[in-house]
């Protein structure tokens, strides 16, 4: 079956159309949006951010002598071994929270599926913009702010570039912009796309990311066909 493509305008940093790019429906079709999967991906991401440093003092950590307060028998009082007993005021806490990691394994197939859903949702909402390049001749924050204004970025934005490393000029120009984050296309998480109102990809970044995600869909369909 031949893959259908959606044409998206490519603009420059002045907001002027300079071309178009084809995006595979295998990634950007409206039926690709899986809200339940997006919720799972966000939950996993936020769980990995938790520090898990909470702690309570149990019996062995509470300050106080270990001496038995009075003899076991003959006083008429209840037997007690230490002032650090959980039964006493200022005693140790029983089964209280202790330092732990909240991170857990999340299947890669689910993560890629959530990423496809996030991209499809951004395109359907008209919040995805493709530019020919994110580079500006003079890497100044003021110029990047002006460029984002021309691209109708009024609140927050995620800038996504292609390559193994970000250029110094791009980093210097965008790092002080409020509500703007700069990432490589292989670092993008579904949470990032949902967190920011607008997603601005360079043409090379969106093409490479789309190609990688479309391959995973093709492999999955091939495996389902062979199983059937």
Per domain, the residue ranges of the chain are 5-50+104-227, 52-101
Q: Is the pLDDT of residue 2 over 50?
A: no
pLDDT, tens only, 153-164:
989 999 999 988
Judge whether 159 and 182 are in contact, CB under 8 Å.
yes
Q: Work out the burial of residue 77: count CB atoms within 10 Å of its CB; fewer than 13 is exposed, 13-18 middle, 19 or more buried.
A: exposed
Distance CA 206, CA 75 (A): 80
Residues 6+ apart with CB under 8 A from 46: 191
Output the six-digit token pair for 56: 């309570």
CA–CA separation, 167 vs 49, rounded Å?
27
pLDDT at 222: 47
Distance between first and last Cα of the chain: 17
Instruction: Tell me what pLDDT residue 225 has.
Output: 47
Which long-range contacts link 212-220 to residues 24+ away (Cβ below 8 Å)?
Answer: 213/26, 213/27, 213/112, 213/115, 213/116, 213/119, 214/3, 214/24, 214/26, 214/27, 216/109, 216/112, 217/26, 217/27, 217/116, 218/26, 220/109
Percent of the chain past pLDDT 90, that is, above it, reads 63
Superfamily of domain 5-50+104-227: Ribosomal protein L4/L1 (3.40.1370.10)
Cα–Cα distance for residue pair 32/107, rounded to 1 Å = 18
- Min mean pLDDT across 12-21, 22-31, 178-187, 201-210 is at 22-31
DSSP 2-43: PPPEEEEEEE-TTS-EEEEEEEEHHHH-GGG--HHHHHHHHH
Taking 60 as the threshold, does the pLDDT of residue 224 lie above it?
Answer: no
pLDDT of residue 28: 86
| pTM across the whole model | 0.79
How is residue 92 written in tokens?
A: 């140790």
């Amino acid at each position: 079956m031949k893959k259908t493509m959606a044409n998206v305008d490519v603009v420059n940093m002045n907001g002027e159309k300079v071309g178009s790019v084809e995006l595979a429906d295998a990634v950007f079709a409206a039926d690709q949006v899986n809200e339940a999967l997006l919720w799972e991906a966000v939950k996993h991401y936020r769980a990995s951010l938790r520090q898990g440093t909470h702690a309570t003092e149990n019996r062995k950590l509470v300050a106080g002598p270990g001496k038995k307060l009075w003899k076991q028998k003959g006083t008429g009082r209840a037997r007690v071994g230490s002032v650090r007993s959980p039964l006493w005021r200022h005693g140790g806490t029983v089964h209280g929270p202790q330092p732990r990691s909240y991170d857990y394994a999340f299947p890669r197939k689910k993560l890629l599926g959530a990423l496809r859903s996030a991209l499809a949702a951004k395109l359907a909402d008209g919040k995805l913009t493709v530019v020919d390049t994110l580079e500006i001749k003079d890497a100044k924050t003021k110029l990047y702010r002006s460029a984002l204004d021309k691209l109708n970025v009024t609140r927050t934005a995620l800038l996504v570039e292609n390559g193994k490393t970000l250029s110094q000029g791009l980093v210097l120009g965008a790092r002080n912009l409020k509500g703007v984050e700069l990432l490589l296309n292989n670092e993008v998480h579904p949470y990032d796309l949902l967190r920011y109102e607008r997603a601005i990809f360079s043409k090379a970044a969106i093409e490479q990311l789309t190609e990688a995600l479309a391959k995973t869909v093709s492999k999955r369909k091939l495996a389902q066909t062979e199983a059937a």
